[in-house]
Amino acid sequence: MNGNDCSPQGWYQAACDQSGFVCDTQQLAAIGQLEVLWWQLVEFKQRRNQFLGRSLLRPEVPKGLYVWGGVGRGKTFLMDGFYECLPYRRKRRIHFHNFMLEVHHEMRRLAHAPDPLLAVAGVIEQSTRLLCLDEFHVDDIADAMILGRLLEALFARGVVVLTTSNYAPDDLYRNGLQRQRFLPAIALLKRELKVLHLDGDSDYRLLQMARDPLFHFPDDAASEARMQALFRRLTAGVRDGADAILMGGRKIPAKRLAREVAWFDFAELCGGPHDAADYLEIAHRYPTVFVSSIPHLTAERAAEARRFTWLIDVLYDNHVKLVASFRVSPQQLYGDDGREKKEEARRIASRLAEMQTLHYLELPHHSRGVKLG
């Protein structure tokens, strides 16, 4: 397997060549480290295939990375690019909070095993060589108590971990209960992973969204082109590949999907049998949501208007960034119904106006409470 344009450096250079993308010296330094790990993993796979079944010698498993830094520095963006470029089948990328929910779920499922935690590590090893954990952050006593043993078991089984965090390892679980019992886990992270600080003050995710209008009117080809350009800048062209998301056993078709950005047509998102719980799950999964072709919400569209109200309330409460195109101006979105509807329309209009402000864009996304499917 030879290097190609989809190594991390090639991928990042392609992103830098895109109009409006801001290259960053700190990100370039991080890409250099990711490039080293990428080649180590590629060569490890080659050597393992050569030695498998022919020798008792086994190639050394590469050490992973712990990438930490402030909000909006591009940690998740860089990890996603690395993940997409790595030519592995046995790889997984998951938000750390959701990963721990799965671990607890699996421990209950494997409660009959002599050591359920080691059994979980064995299950992970079977399907995963590279484990990418986004937003490593320990604030739960139950997680803190099992993390050390779980990570030790994963490292011993040859699982390579790449994780991002807003915190340096020494600052994890800083004021948590019985923190002294978590200190060995911190020491393990520092010993088994290379710690990389993505420094700097710029919030590039915020800059990308603050530079252009988020709401577009009228809903025409020009608006569509502007939304496409912003979607490309936010994702650097790394797309999910899926054309729908699964919600409660139902599929919601999507125009485009990426790790942290989802783009829907209004008719698919608010025209079908969806409720606030569906929108809550979308809000937890995606920090940024695009919605196209929002119509004039007249009395004839009462059901769609009600669902749109739920959608905006949920996105607003979870600090999700909204990019949208409208067939009428947002100020004229609702028709002339009764007083109660007018109050609701004013409230939604107020929230839509606030969601375009720099203050709102600076709010951290809420991603807690995602239920396992």
Of the ranges 15-29, 128-142, 163-177, which one carries the lowest mean pLDDT score? 15-29
Task: Compute the mean pLDDT over every residue in the chain, rounded to the nearest whole number.
Answer: 84
What architecture does CATH give domain 8-198? Answer: 3-Layer(aba) Sandwich (3.40)
Q: What is the pLDDT of residues 58-104, one digit of tens each?
A: 678 999 999 998 766 778 888 988 998 999 999 998 888 889 989 99
Helices H, strands E: what count in the chain? 14, 12
Question: Angle at the Cα of 70 (from 65 to 75), degrees rounded to 5?
Answer: 40
Per-residue pLDDT, averaged over 217-225, amounts to 90
- pTM of the prediction? 0.61
Query: Cβ(297)–Cβ(304) under 8 Å?
Result: yes
Strands (E), the chain: 64-69, 91-95, 130-134, 160-165, 193-198, 215-216, 244-247, 250-253, 256-257, 261-265, 288-294, 321-326
Query: Which amino acid would we find at residue 36?
Result: V
Long-range contacts of the stretch 34-37 (C-beta < 8 A, 24+): 34/8, 34/65, 34/78, 34/81, 34/82, 35/7, 35/8, 35/9, 37/62, 37/64, 37/65, 37/82, 37/162
Q: For position 12, what pLDDT does the model report?
A: 87
Of the ranges 163-167, 176-180, 214-218, 356-360, which one carries the lowest mean pLDDT score? 356-360
Distance from C-alpha of 91 to C-alpha of 132, rounded to nearest angstrom: 8
pLDDT > 70 fraction of the chain, expressed in percent and rounded: 86
Q: 3.40.50, 3.20.19, 3.10.20, 3.30.460: which CATH number matches 205-361?
A: 3.40.50
Q: What is the pLDDT of residues 320-371, one digit of tens each?
A: 999 999 998 887 888 665 444 677 788 888 889 888 888 788 787 776 543 3
Q: For position 206, what pLDDT does the model report?
A: 57
End-to-end, the C-alpha distance of the chain in Å comes to 36
Of the ranges 135-139, 160-164, 279-283, 364-368, which one carries the lowest mean pLDDT score? 364-368
Q: What is the pLDDT of residues 185-202, one digit of tens each?
A: 999 999 999 999 887 655
Q: For position 336, what pLDDT does the model report?
A: 62
Q: Where in the chain is the domain with CATH 3.40.50.300?
A: 8-198
Whether residue 283 has pLDDT greater than 70: yes
Distance from C-alpha of 50 to C-alpha of 43, rounded to nearest angstrom: 11
Name the band, by pLDDT with cuts 50, 70 and 90, for residue 3. Answer: very low
Retrieve residue 98's tokens. 């959701």
Give the H/E segment covering residue 157: none
Question: Angle at the Cα of 283 (from 278 to 287), degrees rounded to 5?
Answer: 155
Q: For position 373, what pLDDT does the model report?
A: 31
Per-residue buried b or exposed e for 250-283, using 16+ beta carbons within 10 Å of the residue's own CB: eebebbbbbbbbbbbbbebbbebebeeebbbbbb
Name the band, by pLDDT with cuts 50, 70 and 90, for residue 57. Answer: low
Q: For position 371, what pLDDT does the model report?
A: 37
Query: Cβ(337)–Cβ(300) under 8 Å?
Result: no
